[in-house]
Amino acid sequence: MTNQAPMHKNVWILVFVAALGYFVDIFDLIIFSIVRIQSFTDIGVPPEEMRSKGEFVLNMQMGGLLIGGVIWGVLGDKYGRIKVLFGSILMYSIANIANGFVQDVTSYGIIRFVAGIGLAGELGAGITLVSEAMHRRKRGYGTMIVAGVGVLGAILAYYISEWYSWRTAYFVGGGMGLLLLLMRVGVFESGMFNEMNDKKIAKGQISILFNNRERFTRYLYCLCIGLPIWFVVGVLVTQAPEIGQALHAETVLSAGKGVMFTYLGISLGDFMAGLIAQVFKSRKKVVLVYQLIILLFSCIYLLRQGITETEFLWLAFFMGIGVGYWATFITIAAEQFGTNIRATVATTAPNFVRGALIPSTILYGVFVDWFGIISAAIIMIILLSGIAIFALSRLKESFDKDLNFIEE
């Protein structure tokens, strides 16, 4: 395959399989947020500890994603994107099946940590493969399909958790992953990686990102543009019951329904972001608009006293649209760096952003103690969005960039 391969059947098969992979990845990634209350109640967690224990388990998962992002990213650049896909799917599938047997919070957290490591490899390797396989003027469509279809896994996760027990939901997630592993046999490796692999080039060395000030700063800016994403999903929506109580909601707000509507918004947002970027030949402009959407609807949500469940679900949907620059964010990160470090960047960037939820929730917890849960959430979303917008302004536009280059 040439560097700028024409669109043909095999490329679309790759996009389809990558999209299914992300579908399963999202199912397994957010299932805890959906079944938190149900599973904690079942294993005997007191109501007053739901929030703190939930943050512990979520942070364990995010910590696994953080570490896994480095592991899989380096392996992806050293040994190929396909091997990472196979290894990560196997790990998170087994971990999710094991999650269906937990009886205490400590075991819950440890297994979510292992699952997090596995889940870290899926999206970055998929986006890297699709970006390198498609023509540079069309790759936005490929990543748009991967993300837009993939995030619908959250919808299935919600309905499985509604129809069956939380333990069954984990079994379904693990089972789908193992089936996906069988489907992926025969998927081809990136042509750019194969060409680079034939040359004596330093690849998969994470030190490349840190031994040059300009390159490190570029990488840091890539990370920062994704900071608000997981705070919206992991805190504003996941903690809907607690936030709703502070807002004197008419009924207890459902985190599970909120996550489902958020991911409906993310799916639509990802499709729209990809299309708009293709039309206006700019990814930066799209991300800026989406940052403003996050700010607007997050503040409306957090200031809505007496919020109803219907209002919450609509606001979760619109916050999800704002968060729907996720695939565009990863594509920007991948386009900023050379082939010999691209998988490392595309895999670590989303997982470092997920892992950044740990310090974000710690700071949020401090602000909750100082100012209360609503004021703390408003301060955090303004702070994170401000950092993201500044970082975006410092990056170069990467739309239509030739990706066949290496980092020296």
pTM of the model: 0.75
The label of the residue with tokens 């391969």 reads 5
Categorize the per-residue pLDDT at 5 as very low, low, confident or very high, splitting at 50, 70 and 90: very low
Would you list the domain boundaries of the chain? 9-181+212-394
Higher pLDDT, 342 or 237: 237
Q: Which fold has domain 9-181+212-394?
A: Growth Hormone; Chain: A; (1.20.1250)
Residue 8, pLDDT > 70, answer no
207 exposure class (CB count in 10 Å sphere: 0-12, 13-18, 19+): exposed
Higher pLDDT, 198 or 132: 132
Looking at residue 193, its pLDDT comes to 46
Q: Identify the CA nearest to 283 among candidates 327, 343, 348.
A: 327
Looking at residue 274, its pLDDT comes to 80
Q: What does the pLDDT look like over 256-302, one tens digit per residue?
A: 788 888 888 988 888 888 888 878 888 889 999 999 999 999 999 99
The label of the residue with tokens 């940590």 reads 113
Burial per residue of 223-258, b for 16 or more beta-carbon CB atoms within 10 angstroms, e otherwise: bbbbbbbbbbbbbbbbbbbbbbebbebeeebbbbbb
Looking at residue 58, its pLDDT comes to 82
Range among 72-76, 116-120, 131-135, 346-350 with highest mean pLDDT value: 116-120
Task: Measure the CA–CA gap between 189 and 196, rounded to whole angstroms.
Answer: 12
